[in-house]
């Protein structure tokens, strides 16, 4: 008994084109903001998680929130390098990257405003263990010289670190001899230099972290237990992916909470708009509702028909907001990573889960906005409805 009311509702959406467009447009705007917020947070997580590898573990000083705060001296590094779980290269050398991380302040190209850039002192093992690093222009630095290679994302945004340019830090002038990419990971927001040169420039005789390539990823628990249980070392061991995922947690959570709070405020307006539209639809179709009831359609059918109409409006609005939001994936933006206080460039990222959440969010707005008008339509008295002119 619900076929005619449903067809009737579909037809009325087409008939009331202007009202349908305005209501769906309001929901689309809210859906766009909601989707963009989720894409922003997911883009940060994706960029940092892609920085890590399942085959690698990272060692930092116990209690350090990031590599910037960590210090590991050479004696401890030498002990860590002897662990049996660590893979070796073709010459039998352990695949351990002893790295130094410091921050410098550089002006941006467009605004001339200063911001922090992360400098990573690396070794040849760093390049061997991170297959996602691809040199796209220039060459690698030469050992013993003040030469650097720069992530493509940071090279575009900051002065003095484009290919062939010279930048001053650590009481030296450094020449940019190469640009690299890393599949959109956080490394693209870094400057890389030979670790020993960086140690000399900043007079920092300790490492920030050690990255270890495991013979087998399943060896991680035993490695972690042994190193963290050794009182001489006072270190913390994490899977590399988990470490970078933790780095993104604070910033991504902040963006989600703030963005969803703003979106919820906007959604109240969209719900009220949908409610007004549906109340107007009920008022304009009182006689028609009475006719349907006189033909034998129960109140439940009328309620469902008007709810479906509201849900369709919100579904159309959700799709309309989702489509332009998906185009944001072509944009690269940057912000300060709360964990490292350095500039992080990343892209908006869309996932099936975000698509589903956005559609559900839009449909819920339609449900909340359409329920009371639908209930009013279902409660219409047949006699009074037919007498309405």
- Render pLDDT for 340-351 as a digit per residue (tens, 0 to 9): 878 888 889 999
Provide the pLDDT for residue 380: 73
In three-state secondary structure terms, 25 is: helix
Provide the pLDDT for residue 2: 47
Q: Token pair of 173, please? A: 């002038």
Provide the pLDDT for residue 161: 92
In three-state secondary structure terms, 292 is: helix
- Render pLDDT for 34-90 as a digit per residue (tens, 0 to 9): 999 999 999 988 888 878 888 999 999 998 888 989 999 999 999 999 999 999 988
CA distances from 176 to 156, 168, 180, 201, 307 (A): 13, 11, 11, 16, 62
Provide the pLDDT for residue 202: 92
Q: What angle do CA 59, 63, 69 make, to 5 degrees?
A: 75
Maximum mean pLDDT: which of 7-16, 306-315, 359-368, 369-378? 359-368
Residues 299-303 have a mean pLDDT of 76
CA–CA separation, 162 vs 348, rounded Å?
Answer: 24
Is the whole model's pTM more than 0.95, yes or no?
Answer: no
Provide the pLDDT for residue 12: 67
DSSP state of 108: B
Residues 257-280 have a mean pLDDT of 81
> Hey, where are the domains in the chain?
3-49+247-387, 63-233
Q: Token pair of 108, please? A: 């941006």
Q: Token pair of 382, please? A: 């047949």
DSSP state of 297: -
Residue 1 has pLDDT above 50, yes or no: no
Residues 272-276 have a mean pLDDT of 78
- Render pLDDT for 19-30 as a digit per residue (tens, 0 to 9): 777 778 888 888
Helix (H) or strand (E) holding 288: helix 286-294
Provide the pLDDT for residue 60: 95
Provide the pLDDT for residue 375: 77
Contact predicate 260/31, CB 8 Å = no
- Residue 6's pLDDT band (cuts 50, 70, 90): low
- Residue 385's pLDDT band (cuts 50, 70, 90): low
Q: Any residues with CB less than 8 A from the CB of 52 and at least 6 apart, and which?
A: 58, 239, 240, 241, 242, 243, 244, 245
Contact predicate 338/254, CB 8 Å = yes
Question: String of b and e for 160-197 (b: at least 16 CB within 10 Å)?
Answer: bbebeeebebbeeebebbbbbbbebbbbbbbbbbbbeb
Burial (Cβ within 10 Å: 0-12, 13-18, ≥19) of residue 225: exposed
More confident residue, 332 or 284: 332
CA–CA separation, 16 vs 338, rounded Å?
Answer: 49
More confident residue, 210 or 382: 210
- Residue 7's pLDDT band (cuts 50, 70, 90): low
Question: String of b and e for 64-102 (b: at least 16 CB within 10 Å)?
Answer: bebbbebbbeeebbeebeebebbbeeeeeebbbbbbbbb
Provide the pLDDT for residue 122: 93
Residue 3 has pLDDT above 60, yes or no: no
Mean pLDDT for all residues in the chain? 86
Provide the pLDDT for residue 285: 66
- Residue 388's pLDDT band (cuts 50, 70, 90): low
CA distances from 201 to 6, 78, 118, 197, 388 (A): 75, 23, 15, 6, 88
- Residue 360's pLDDT band (cuts 50, 70, 90): very high
Number of residues in the chain: 389
Evaluated on CA atoms 378, 384, 385, 386, the torsion sign reads positive
42: left (phi over 0), alpha (psi -120 to 50) or beta: alpha
Residues 317-321 have a mean pLDDT of 91
CA–CA separation, 319 vs 316, rounded Å?
Answer: 5
In three-state secondary structure terms, 344 is: strand
């Amino acid at each position: 008994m619900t076929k005619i009311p449903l067809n009737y509702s579909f037809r009325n959406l087409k008939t009331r084109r202007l009202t349908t467009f305005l209501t769906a447009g309001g929901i689309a705007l809210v859906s766009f903001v909601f989707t963009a917020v989720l894409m922003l947070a997911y883009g940060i997580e994706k960029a940092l998680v892609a920085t890590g590898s399942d085959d690698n573990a990272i060692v930092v000083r116990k209690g350090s929130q990031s590599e910037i705060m960590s210090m590991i001296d050479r004696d401890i590094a030498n002990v860590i390098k002897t662990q049996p779980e660590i893979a070796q290269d073709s010459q039998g050398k352990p695949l351990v990257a002893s790295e130094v991380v410091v921050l410098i302040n550089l002006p941006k190209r467009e605004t001339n405003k200063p911001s922090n850039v992360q400098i990573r002192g690396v070794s040849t093992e760093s390049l061997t263990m991170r297959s996602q690093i691809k040199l796209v222009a220039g060459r690698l630095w030469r050992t013993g010289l003040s030469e650097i290679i720069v992530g493509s994302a940071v090279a575009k945004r900051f002065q003095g670190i484009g290919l062939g340019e010279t930048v001053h830090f650590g009481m030296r002038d450094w020449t940019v001899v190469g640009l690299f990419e890393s599949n959109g990971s956080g490394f693209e927001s870094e400057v890389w230099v030979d670790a020993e040169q960086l140690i000399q420039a900043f007079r920092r005789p300790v490492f920030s972290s050690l990255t270890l390539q495991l013979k087998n990823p399943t060896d991680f628990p035993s490695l972690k237990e042994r190193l963290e249980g050794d009182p001489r070392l006072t270190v913390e061991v994490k899977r590399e992916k988990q470490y970078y995922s933790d780095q993104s947690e604070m910033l991504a959570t902040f963006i989600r909470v703030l963005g969803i709070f703003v979106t919820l405020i906007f959604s109240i307006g969209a719900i009220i708009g949908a409610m007004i539209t549906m109340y107007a639809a009920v008022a304009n179709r009182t006689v028609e509702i009475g006719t349907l009831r006189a033909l034998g359609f129960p109140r439940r059918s009328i309620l469902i028909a008007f709810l479906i109409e509201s849900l369709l409006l919100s579904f159309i609005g959700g799709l309309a907001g989702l489509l332009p939001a998906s185009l944001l994936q072509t944009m690269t933006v940057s912000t300060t990573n709360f964990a490292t206080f350095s500039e992080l460039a990343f892209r908006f990222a869309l996932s099936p889960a975000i698509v589903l959440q956005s559609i559900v969010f839009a449909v819920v707005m339609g449900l909340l906005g359409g329920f009371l008008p639908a209930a009013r339509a279902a409660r219409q008295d047949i006699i009074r409805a037919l007498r309405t002119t």
